[in-house]
Amino acid sequence: MPVKPKGMQTFFVEIKCKLGKTYEVASALADAEIASEIYSTAGNYDIIAKFHLDPDVDIGHFVAQKVQTIPEILDTRTMITFKAF
């Protein structure tokens, strides 16, 4: 089981992409090297990405500046986590 880096805040972002653009968005996330894991999904969103940030970094600002600015993203949904079991 992957271990949460010590002292980091972990969260997930579900990403809805423009039609036919899922792989472009996933590649942009990977190229930016900001997500620890990126998965394609079925359902209301096309991608789920896992992030780890230092405790002093604002998650909302990070998502708005680093994730939502990627071209071809239509919508995001952020899930903040508390504890891994």
pTM above 0.85, yes or no: yes
Residue bearing the bigger pLDDT, 18 or 85? 18
Residue 33 placed within a domain: yes
Residue span of the structural domain in which 31 resides: 9-80
Q: Residue 47 sits in a domain of what CATH number?
A: 3.30.70.920
Residue 26 placed within a domain: yes
Give the span between the Cα atoms of 65 and 67, in whole angstroms: 6
The total of structural domains in the chain comes to 1
pLDDT band at 1 (very low <50, low <70, confident <90, very high): very low
Cβ atoms of 49 and 12 within 8 Å: the answer is yes
- Report the amino acid identity of residue 57: V
Residue 69 placed within a domain: yes
Residue 66 placed within a domain: yes
Residue 54 placed within a domain: yes
Question: What digits encode the pLDDT tens for the residues 10-38?
Answer: 999 999 999 999 999 999 999 999 999 99
Residue 25 placed within a domain: yes
